[in-house]
Structure 1
Amino acid sequence: MGTKMTPFHLTVTALVLFLFSTTILVTNSLNIALNDDVLGLMVFKADIQDPYNKLSTWNEEDDSPCNWIGVTCDPYSNRVTELHLPGFSLSGHISKGLLRLQYLHTLSLSRNNFTGLITNPILTQLIKNSQFIDLSENGFSGSIPDPIFVQCGSLRSINLANNKLTGQIPDSIASCLTLQNIDFSSNQLSGGLPKNIWSLTSLRSIDLSNNFLDGEIPHEKIETLFDLRVFNLSSNNFSGELPDKIGECLLLKVVDFSNNYLVGTLPESLQKLSLCNVVNLRGNYFSGEIPEWFRSLKSLEMLDLSVNNFTGLVPNALGDLESLKSLNLSLNQFTGELPDSLGKCVNLSVVDFSWNMLTGDVPGWVFGLRLKGVSLSGNRFTGNVEFGETAAGFESLEMLDLSSNLFSGVIPSSIGNFSRLVVLNMSRNSLVGSVPSSLGGLKAASVIDLSHNSLNGSIPNEIGGAGLLEELRLENNFLIGSIPDQIQNLSDLTTLSLSRNNITGVIPVDIAKLTELEYVDLSFNHLSGSLPKELSNLTNLVTFNVSHNELEGELPLGGFFNTIPLSSVSDNPSLCGSIVNESCPGGHPKPIVLNPNPSHSEHGSTSLNMSHKRIILSISAIIAIGAAVFIALGVIVVTILNLHVRNSINRSAAVALTFSGGDDFSHTRSPSSDYGKLVMFTGDAEFVSGTHALLNKDCELGRGGFGVVYWTALRNGRSVAIKKLHVPSMSKCQEDFDREVKKLGTIRHANLVLLEGYYWTPSLQLLINEYVSSGSLYKHLHEGNDENTLSWRERFEIILGTARGLAHLHQMKVIHYNMKSTNVLIDCSGEAKVGDFGLAALLPSLDRHVLSGKIQSALGYMAPEFACQTVKITEKCDIYGFGILVLEVVTGKKPVEYMEDDVVILCDMVRGALDNGRADECIDRKLKGDFPIEECVSVIKLGLVCASQVPSNRPDMEEVVKILEMIQCPCEGQEEIE
């Protein structure tokens, strides 16, 4: 008999069934939601490239993505709340799959290779829904549209640093009242700061550095930024004065307005920043004295007021900054002596007082503290250099620069106790006595410069103990004796300068073992004997000057010595060989005969010998040869100027050591990670080969007057070309170099090689350019086979593209200075890209001798006015070089060709053919297929006009582009070459 169900039992049963069904519904709903997160992330993954399979744990069959790499979920709801994928080498576009992540509040995709416009509606929606967004160090481009921040929801942090963003910062950002952190640094943003930006009273950090922002910094309401900790507007174009109430932001820890155009004195409100750690106002136009109230900044660790117009004494008040670690007051107008009170700053690590008007002796605290870097160069310090015998600096000092002062006396032997010293520069003083043998104890030294003093005695054998030395400079002293054989132990040596001494003996054959040597100057000594033939094995040589000695015998053959300038071996009466045009005993060199195409002078032609051709030089040949002679005679001056430039980098390693930041990827060892400054305009700077293998000889792409170019790859697989600039001629001070390269980095054009970044130290400067895969125009014209020769249409497009690129440079007020076919690169689509532009602006000064030495390899492209000191170098020089390049492209011949007993000047040959109605005979016979002769001849005529001897007769490049566009015509119906 069954049990009878009561109303109570029915009620309980119904409740259980209801709860059970509800649980099923909730579970199903949750599963659907979880699957929505899985689906969204899988859609995101499907739209990107993952070359290293970093997202291998992402599996569409999983019920939940919470265990996937880079994914963080809420512990209660198991919904995705955070996505962290920094440095995964991902690329592609951000897809709409992320919009399915309804609870996502943190998105970090930094240090990848994502591209696309920042106007993407997906990003707009993400900004609306998220709290933290980090898209830094990618390849996003375009401008930031104003509506993107209109609905920014609860956005607290936005990081778009190190991309390719342009245009202005939208005013709508001022509506994001919850914003705490803004980082738009290292882009190409322009214009002024947004209106009402200081209404963002929740701001803790704002970094807009390394852009092209301008105008004045708004003063109104800046005092309302009560929570602001980091304020960085460095490396822009801001003008005017600092806001006078900036000190009301009492929590500020970092104040960086360096490298702008700010003026005036320092606002008194700064003294309220008792919590501030960093004040960097470098590279502006501030004036006045450093106020005594600076002692109020008790927490200050880094103070940089360099490269301004400050005057007066270095105040005693700085001695009260006991937390101070870095102090840079270089390149101002400070006078008087350094205060002894700085000895109380026991935490000081680096000091730079270079290039002021300071006087007196070096205070004892300089070597009594445990400093790492000291630069006192370019002042008026006097007296003897004394280190003491128990100086604390012996265990810490890595960089010492006392150059360009009035120091006298001898160099203390205790200098060898600086066991960590990397850079030692005591050049351009009045030091006497011998070179201390204790220098051999500097086991970590990379640079030793004692040049331009009055040192005597011989070079100590112990110098070979400094086994890591890369630069040894002892020129302009009174040294005697011979070059020590122990120099062979300096296997890393790149620069050896012993010129203008009284050194005797022979050049040791073991110098040939120093395979890294690039610059050798032994001129103006009393060296004798012959040059070791093994020197020809030095494959990295750029300069080898042994002029004004007593050397004899035959010059080495091969390598650098096949093209060594005459000036580098001049005034050695007993040297012989083809370079000095002197036959060696037992040798019968073939005479060199210069005989360009004959032309008629007003006196007619004269027969010199019945068995020889007539030698009547054309005007262009005379100018070309005259320029060559001028350059040859000037190289000795160039060498001296270069040495001066090299030693004028006295705003040197201490500045870079202390304040530059960035990673050092030079092959030169650095005592700290802050020795070099790496700046990338285009984002990623992570190299596959590792930072110490960038300048691999196996990856060398070419050499030119301004430096050597190497290939390397970024982590994302993209190739770049790194140009190592020749030192010392390129070593401007850092702020000038930064300014010039940054200007070149702003230039963008389809027919110009993109400058992607640069690297600077006093001894090494690198330019990082886009890699153009198909090589130079020179290679296509002169080194390819007949099967791969350029068609006429390809040649015309290259000429037109080059003209457009050059026209854009001139519009930007940049002179190329070195137009030639090796500096026109061809990309994979056949488009011409002009490279190496504006490099002459990086020279310490636009000296005609130096410039001519740099581009002497482009003699055939050089405008005649280069040979005249009184004529101004203008854009017309570029147009002359372009004209020669046009003729080279059409004819397939080099600007100057040396025949067996003749020299053919291309411009003269083509002009003569045109005058005789035979211009079509000049067209390159390697051209195949049908092409319009009329168009070719028109281009030839344009090239000749551009290469006119008179600068005013040459058209502007914008006119050249218009002419080329007009003469371009269809191929049908034109006369053809058989």
Structure 2
Amino acid sequence: MDMDIKMKMKSLLTFVLFWLVLLAVIASSPVRSLTLSPSLNDDVLGLIVFKADIQDPTQKLSSWNEDDDTPCNWKGIKCNPRSNRVTELNLDGFSLSGRIGRGLLQLEFLRKLSLANNNLSGTISPNMVKLESLIAIDLSENSLTGSIPDDFFKQCGSLRYISLANNQFLGKIPGSLGSCATLAAINLSMNRFSGLLPVGIWGLSGLRTLDLSCNMLEGEIPEGVHALNNLRSINLSNNRFTGQVPDEIGSCLLLRSIDFSMNLFSGSVPKTMQELSLCTYLNLSVNSFVGEVPEWIGEMESLQTLDLSVNKFSGQVPDSIGKLRFLKVLNFSSNSLRGSLPASMENNMNLLALDISQNSLTGDLPGWIFKSGPNQVLFSEQKAGANVDNPISASLGAYLQRIQVLDLSQNSFSGELTFDIGALSSLKLLNLSRNSLIGPVPGTVAELKSLEVLDLSQNQLNGSIPMEIGGAYSLKDLRLKANFIEGKIPSSIENCTLLRTLIISQNNLSGPIPAKIGKLSNLEYVDLSFNDLAGRLPKQLANLPRLLSFNISHNNLQGELPAGGFFNTISPTAVFGNPLLCGSTVNKSCPAVLPKPIVLDPNTTSDSIPDDLPPNVGRKRIVLSISALIAIGAAAFIVVGVIAVTVLNLRVKSSTSHSAAPIAFSAGDEFSRSPTTDANSGKLVMFSGEPDFSTGAHAMLNKDCELGRGGFGAVYRTVLQDGRAVAIKKLTVSSLVKSQEEFEREVKKLGKIRHYNLVALEGYYWTPSLQLLISEFVSGGSLHKHLHEGPSGNYLSWHDRFRIILGTAKGLAHLHESNIIHYNIKSSNILIDGSGEPKVADFGLARLLPMLDRYILSSKIQSALGYMAPEFACRTVKITEKCDVYGFGVLVMEVVTGKRPVEYMEDDVVILCDMVRGALEEGRVEECVDERLQGKFPVEEAIPVMKLGLICTSQVPSNRPDMSEVVNILELIRCPSESQDSG
């Protein structure tokens, strides 16, 4: 009700503004107002009122001046040269925002209106098509919302073109649309229209183009389609249409493009389609069509694209396919086709892409593909009696140079790969995986200079990886997984500088990993697991800047893992099965490399002193006794100790202390040096380096440096002497923490947890009344700040949000692998570093409590309202890692929607999980995405991510996925083409 009142007020204000402008012009220019006709003023003032509702950040409308006599010279305006009346308003791509106001209704002679490719919002006026002179309306590529009134097209006059594509309109398509007899083109694609189509649409005899794709429309295509006898293009893809395609479709003889993909159509393909001899594009993919691929398909002789993928077609590929001389794209993938490809397909000379993957095709790979010229048989499995002088072969050279995509994967093809594949000179993707191919990988792959993807995985190939592989320098994705390939990884692979994915696991490869792989700076996914690789890992691998996954498990590698980069956070499972590897990741210390000691014999003469001693070692006999050496060492130790204590006392006295006890440096563990204990002083331990706060100790607990407060304490910022900033958390759980011994043991465990997406714990400070945790300082602030407190114009993009979700998931997964439960997942505990990467903070603090009491936990994380899993309130349910998964699920929805987990309205309380779940059930989950992202996010990622968030917030803990599974799911959402073979 309030929204209706606001809309009416807005309309009233616009109306008043219109008349105020009119009166102002009349008052300021009495002479002009007498000489100009009222009709001319209507155009000028109508456009000025329209502009008043628009934001124009790039000043494209700066030429629109209300003092002008005519708008005909304004940018985006065209007029009738005789009457000087506006006939065309074209503001396509002007970067405008705001609403479409009533001012346009004054343009009585407007014939063409285009406001496409802007960011206009709100609803559209039901009176817009009352402009009877309009023949074209284009409002596509905006953020317009709401439903279209039923009578919107009731007075459509001479309207010939209407496009509302790529907005957010919803509800039913108005029935009045079917009464616009003059319409030639309708484009309502990429909206949220639902329900049945108006029957009248199928009777628009003048219609040439109909695009209703990417909506939620349903129902069947009725009889009577033959009335669309002028139709050239029809696109109903990505909806919920059901039933059979009517036979009358064959009566639309002018059809050139048909797209019925991604619906629920069933039955067989109408035989009448063979009459559509002008049709160049036919896409029936992702439906439930059954039966054989019809033999008559060859009669559609103009076809350039034929896509019947992901249906239930059976039988063999018909010979008539060879009649389609203009065919460029053929996709029969994911059906139940059997037999072999017909030899007649060698006549498809213009084929650019062939995908017949995921069927049950058998026999040798088609020889008509892998011939490079006359007299050359390229398959060893070719029948012995084959005619090597086949006349067709002479013309195949040109054809082979055209094909770019060849996917024959997941069939039952056999034969040996001994052909000259180099003839396919334009090939960009070759996928022969999951067949029964034998023989070596031919070295002629080096001739494929355009090849980006080569997938030969899961066959029975043998031999070695050809040294010539480096010649295929455009390779981005190389997969040879699960074959019988042996030998070494060729060093020439360094020439494949674009390589992002290298999957050669489950083979018999041996020898070392080439150090030159460290030069492939684009590498993201590497899987070398389950081979016989040996030797040390090259240190150069640590320099790979984009590495996301590196699996070397189950080999014979040895030595220490490279230090730095990805290898600081590599998962233990990625290195498992290499008994000679050492380092913290495999929980095995590496043997120290010490120089051979110099042993001095006191009875040695000067002539026998080693020549490699330093010059200051004289030629005198060394006769110092062991007791003398001990005495000298003890004296030196005492002197150093006195100096150190004196210096420390001076520092403590000169600093402004904000704590109950002075700070004394200590290191009673394996992380630091010179352990000391003193009951009257504090104990400061840094896990790496010297604990030096000499330039920042005064600010450790200074309120001016406070960053924030949480359930476990306040956080301050301070600076080390080397200029490095750190964060200090002053724990406020002193009465609850464990003993010093237990406290230190737990903190040291947390200090060993290292991951790129976790805030590193650098050290701690202990006294019985004051405990501090020292962590790395993350400069970008919290996720909560970015989502809810930043300026409205400075919001996180979808790319940033997905990266934050994925990085947070990886950090939590690493915690769980280390048997650490966070307990307190919320947006204020996710920090963003300078490069936009998330870092999970405050993990494992509950381990510092004497017991994991639910009441104590709840009181300490009460600020996490809305994130807490329901098991916190149920004493009979064990608290596990699944409570973190629940909090993560809430966090996911918070990131995507931009809303807090719990929001208090005037008359209601909105729980984010319930809101998203309800929207999903009602089919409007896209509406939940942060309004600041509207039109700027991929629906195919956003919706699955929100669904994942809902799964993570299941009321039953066992129904929630593990965080490692969550990471895998997110990777698949981000890269849907990546199969699970990527390791």
One-letter amino acid of the counterpart of residue 135, structure 1: L
- Corresponding residue number in structure 2 for 1:123: 128
In structure 2, do the counterparts of structure 1 residues 200 and 459 end up closer, same or farther at CA, with 3 Å as the change threshold? Answer: closer
Question: Is the CA contact (8 Å cut-off) linking 1:483 and 1:508 kept in structure 2?
Answer: yes
Could you say which structure has the greater relative contact order, defined with CA pairs below 8 angstroms and 6 or more residues apart?
1
Question: Is 2:200 aligned against 1:196?
Answer: yes
CA distance in 1, matches of 2:201, 2:174: 10
Question: Is the CA contact (8 Å cut-off) linking 2:352 and 2:405 kept in structure 1?
Answer: no
- Corresponding residue number in structure 1 for 2:468: 462
Question: Is the CA contact (8 Å cut-off) linking 1:512 and 1:538 kept in structure 2?
Answer: yes
- Corresponding residue number in structure 2 for 1:251: 254
One-letter amino acid of the counterpart of residue 306, structure 2: L
Question: Is 2:107 aligned against 1:104?
Answer: no
Question: Is 2:315 aligned against 1:312?
Answer: yes
Structural mapping, 1:44-83, within 5 Å: 44-83=50-89
Structural mapping, 1:643-658, within 5 Å: none
CA distance in 2, matches of 1:59, 1:162: 32
CA deviation after TM superposition for structure 1 residue 137, in Å: 0.9
One-letter amino acid of the counterpart of residue 572, structure 1: N
Q: Deviations over 1:682-705 (max 9, x none)?
A: xxxxxxxxxxxxxxxxx99999xx
- Corresponding residue number in structure 2 for 1:165: 169
CA distance in 2, matches of 1:215, 1:369: 50
One-letter amino acid of the counterpart of residue 249, structure 1: C
In structure 2, do the counterparts of structure 1 residues 41 and 585 end up closer, same or farther at CA, with 3 Å as the change threshold? Answer: same
- Corresponding residue number in structure 1 for 2:14: none
CA distance in 1, matches of 2:546, 2:573: 20
Question: Is the CA contact (8 Å cut-off) linking 2:289 and 2:313 kept in structure 1?
Answer: yes
CA deviation after TM superposition for structure 1 residue 257, in Å: 1.3
SS of 1:579's equivalent?
helix
CA distance in 1, matches of 2:256, 2:234: 8
Structure 1 stretch displaced more, 274-283 or 452-461: 452-461
Question: Is 2:284 aligned against 1:275?
Answer: no
- Corresponding residue number in structure 2 for 1:329: 332
- Corresponding residue number in structure 2 for 1:767: none
Question: Is 2:957 aligned against 1:877?
Answer: yes
Q: Work out which of the residue numbers 169, 174, 184 in structure 2 matches 1:180.
A: 184
Alignment gaps of 5+ in structure 2: 1-30, 374-380, 595-668, 672-738, 750-778, 788-792, 805-825, 846-857, 871-882, 903-911, 918-947, 964-983
SS of 1:551's equivalent?
strand
Bigger Cα Rg: 2
- Corresponding residue number in structure 1 for 2:892: 823
In structure 2, do the counterparts of structure 1 residues 298 and 701 end up closer, same or farther at CA, with 3 Å as the change threshold? Answer: farther
Q: Deviations over 1:429-451 (max 9, x none)?
A: 44444333322232222222222
- Corresponding residue number in structure 2 for 1:474: 480
CA deviation after TM superposition for structure 1 residue 185, in Å: 0.6
CA distance in 2, matches of 1:343, 1:359: 18
SS of 2:344's equivalent?
helix
Question: Is the CA contact (8 Å cut-off) linking 2:217 and 2:240 kept in structure 1?
Answer: yes
- Corresponding residue number in structure 1 for 2:865: 799
- Corresponding residue number in structure 1 for 2:799: 721
Q: Deviations over 1:741-800 (max 9, x none)?
A: xxxxxxxxxxx99xxxxxxxxxxxxxxxxx9x999998697799xxxxxxx999979734
Question: Is the CA contact (8 Å cut-off) linking 1:475 and 1:498 kept in structure 2?
Answer: yes
Structure 1 stretch displaced more, 338-347 or 306-315: 338-347
CA distance in 1, matches of 2:191, 2:949: 37
Q: Deviations over 1:8-29 (max 9, x none)?
A: xxxxxxxxxxxxxxxxx99977
- Corresponding residue number in structure 2 for 1:416: 422
Question: Is the CA contact (8 Å cut-off) linking 2:304 and 2:328 kept in structure 1?
Answer: yes
- Corresponding residue number in structure 2 for 1:690: none
One-letter amino acid of the counterpart of residue 186, structure 1: M
Structure 1 stretch displaced more, 104-113 or 469-478: 469-478
Q: Work out which of the residue numbers 301, 305, 317 in structure 2 matches 1:302.
A: 305
In structure 2, do the counterparts of structure 1 residues 61 and 177 end up closer, same or farther at CA, with 3 Å as the change threshold? Answer: same
CA deviation after TM superposition for structure 1 residue 105, in Å: 1.4
CA distance in 2, matches of 1:612, 1:724: 41
In structure 2, do the counterparts of structure 1 residues 85 and 307 end up closer, same or farther at CA, with 3 Å as the change threshold? Answer: same
Question: Is 2:561 aligned against 1:555?
Answer: yes
CA distance in 1, matches of 2:794, 2:188: 22
CA distance in 1, matches of 2:949, 2:509: 39
SS of 2:341's equivalent?
coil
CA distance in 2, matches of 1:831, 1:291: 55
CA deviation after TM superposition for structure 1 residue 96, in Å: 1.8
Structural mapping, 1:515-914, within 5 Å: 515-586=521-592, 590=670, 719-721=797-799, 799-800=865-866, 819-820=887-888, 823=892, 825=894, 876-877=956-957
- Corresponding residue number in structure 2 for 1:712: none
CA deviation after TM superposition for structure 1 residue 263, in Å: 1.1
Q: Work out which of the residue numbers 211, 216, 220 in structure 2 matches 1:212.
A: 216
CA distance in 1, matches of 2:453, 2:159: 51
Structure 1 stretch displaced more, 574-583 or 104-113: 574-583
Structural mapping, 1:370-385, within 5 Å: none
Question: Is the CA contact (8 Å cut-off) linking 1:66 and 1:73 kept in structure 2?
Answer: yes
One-letter amino acid of the counterpart of residue 720, structure 1: W
One-letter amino acid of the counterpart of residue 470, structure 2: G
CA distance in 2, matches of 1:702, 1:519: 30
- Corresponding residue number in structure 1 for 2:613: none
CA distance in 1, matches of 2:356, 2:960: 46
In structure 2, do the counterparts of structure 1 residues 225 and 508 end up closer, same or farther at CA, with 3 Å as the change threshold? Answer: closer
CA distance in 1, matches of 2:358, 2:218: 29
CA distance in 2, matches of 1:262, 1:61: 59
Identity over aligned residues, as a percent? 47
CA distance in 2, matches of 1:42, 1:800: 48
In structure 2, do the counterparts of structure 1 residues 180 and 798 end up closer, same or farther at CA, with 3 Å as the change threshold? Answer: farther
Question: Is 2:363 aligned against 1:366?
Answer: no
SS of 2:865's equivalent?
helix
- Corresponding residue number in structure 2 for 1:678: none
CA distance in 2, matches of 1:238, 1:567: 46
CA deviation after TM superposition for structure 1 residue 368, in Å: 6.8
Question: Is the CA contact (8 Å cut-off) linking 1:274 and 1:297 kept in structure 2?
Answer: yes
SS of 1:33's equivalent?
helix
SS of 1:147's equivalent?
coil
- Corresponding residue number in structure 2 for 1:33: 39
CA deviation after TM superposition for structure 1 residue 552, in Å: 1.7
CA RMSD of aligned residues (A): 5.0
Question: Is the CA contact (8 Å cut-off) linking 1:369 and 1:393 kept in structure 2?
Answer: no
Question: Is the CA contact (8 Å cut-off) linking 2:370 and 2:419 kept in structure 1?
Answer: no
SS of 1:500's equivalent?
coil
CA distance in 2, matches of 1:477, 1:63: 79
CA deviation after TM superposition for structure 1 residue 358, in Å: 3.0
CA deviation after TM superposition for structure 1 residue 208, in Å: 0.8
- Corresponding residue number in structure 2 for 1:402: 408
CA distance in 2, matches of 1:343, 1:413: 17
CA deviation after TM superposition for structure 1 residue 554, in Å: 1.8
> What TM-score results when the alignment is normalised by the length of structure 2?
0.58
Question: Is the CA contact (8 Å cut-off) linking 2:413 and 2:435 kept in structure 1?
Answer: yes
CA deviation after TM superposition for structure 1 residue 99, in Å: 1.6
CA deviation after TM superposition for structure 1 residue 881, in Å: 9.2
CA distance in 1, matches of 2:884, 2:123: 32
CA distance in 1, matches of 2:425, 2:57: 46
One-letter amino acid of the counterpart of residue 271, structure 2: E
CA distance in 1, matches of 2:362, 2:45: 72
SS of 2:444's equivalent?
helix
One-letter amino acid of the counterpart of residue 352, structure 2: S
